[in-house]
Structure 1
Amino acid sequence: MQNPIGSSLLNIFNIGSSAPIPTELHPVVRERSNQLVQQAADKGIVIVITDDFRSAEDQDRLYEQGRTAAGSIVTHARGGESFHNFGLAIDFAIKTPSENVIWDMNYDGNQNGKSDWTEVVEIAKTLGFEWGGDWVQFKDYPHLQMNFGLTLADLQNGKRPADLSLTADTDEIK
């Protein structure tokens, strides 16, 4: 399957290194996030988006966690080094029937013999998301991002995916 949001389908703009940093989630990422929530619900899995766009300042605060601030290390990315900072990433968790938000990758709330987390990741990948759990260095299991064919260096140097809306069903844009 071709990546439904690959660079062949979206225009890439090179605004230059002085390009303004986005201040919200990219429209395509927002639409696909909504589709992810709905498609998971169709399988009896309730997910919540626990984070989406994140400012560089917020990213720096998260980076300090487990280093100079209390808590465990949750990221290796400083401000400007995460796809969250460009509105291209979300984090998710599962909500149980008792309304608890969990990050249990083995939980099988819909009792179909397959972990709900695995099912959500599979859906996300069909929608064009890259999963942080596939990364070799620092596995970020709640993390999903769309890169639109761009690297972090591209984004830092001013390249941006067009703000196109893709409301079509994924089958129509393969």
Structure 2
Amino acid sequence: MAADLTLLVPAFRPRLEQLLANCRARGVEMRPYMGLRTPLEQARLWRQSRSREEIDVKVAQLRAAGADYLADCLVKVGPQHGDPVTNAIPGLSWHQWGEAVDCFWVVKGAAEWSTKRLLNGLNGYRVMAEEAKKLGLDPGGWWKRFPDWPHVQLRSDPSPLGVMTLAAVSAEMQKRFSA
């Protein structure tokens, strides 16, 4: 699936397009596959690899903070299985705000996920991180706590919690994504 770049915020899209062009100029093709992500999609990813107890604690914390919509997203998606993908609960990933994209490295027409493989002395994810930094973007591969090499985002803030409460984030997510 290809990411719909038209759903990104106007401040991010041209910089992302420049990033992709800069990578191509260095002989690396990076293809966006996930841009705007709904809170339910984020909930599915967050729930992967988490125990029932962890999920119950997080839901209770969200409800106590007045973030019922976010709590409901975690409950609604039900059990999920898989490797850890994200530490961001719904609303706290910049994907939900149209300010983040995940890309994969294309090698001979196929997705390459290795962050160690080199072609012509280059690794696509490391090239993307270097070029993202030059453009003032935040490459997830350089994060200390949970490196996320396919990820690049507009802001260096880890989440909207620097400027909003959980209740405000929940309300905004409900406004944007409830049908």
TM-score (ref. length: structure 2): 0.66
- Report deviation, 1:35: 1.0
- Report deviation, 1:107: 2.6
Call closer, same or farther: CA 1:149–1:118 in 2, change over 3 Å: closer
Identity, % of aligned positions: 29
- Report deviation, 1:149: 6.7
- Report deviation, 1:56: 1.0
Deviation string 1:59-94 (CA, Å, 9 cap, x unpaired) is 111112223312111011111111111111111110
**Cα distance in 2, alignment partners of residues 151 and 101 from structure 1:** 28
Match of residue 142 from structure 2: 134
- Report deviation, 1:26: 1.0
How many residues of Structure 1 are paired with residues of Structure 2 in the alignment? 134
**Cα distance in 1, alignment partners of residues 37 and 12 from structure 2:** 14
Structure 1, gaps ≥5 residues long? 1-22, 160-174
Q: Which amino acid aligns with 1:66?
A: S
Aligned 8 A contact 1:48 1:95 in 2: yes
The reply on whether 1:94 has 2:105 as its aligned counterpart is yes
- Report deviation, 1:40: 1.0
The reply on whether 1:58 has 2:68 as its aligned counterpart is no
Deviation string 1:12-57 (CA, Å, 9 cap, x unpaired) is xxxxxxxxxxx93111211111111111111111111121111111
**Runs of 4+ off more than 4 Å:** 148-151
Deviation string 1:99-149 (CA, Å, 9 cap, x unpaired) is 11122112333x1x2323222211111111112222222222211111177
Structure ranking higher on relative contact order (CA contacts 8 Å, 6+ apart): 1
**Cα distance in 2, alignment partners of residues 89 and 125 from structure 1:** 14
Instruction: Give the aligned CA root-mean-square deviation in angstroms.
Output: 2.4
TM-score (ref. length: structure 1): 0.68
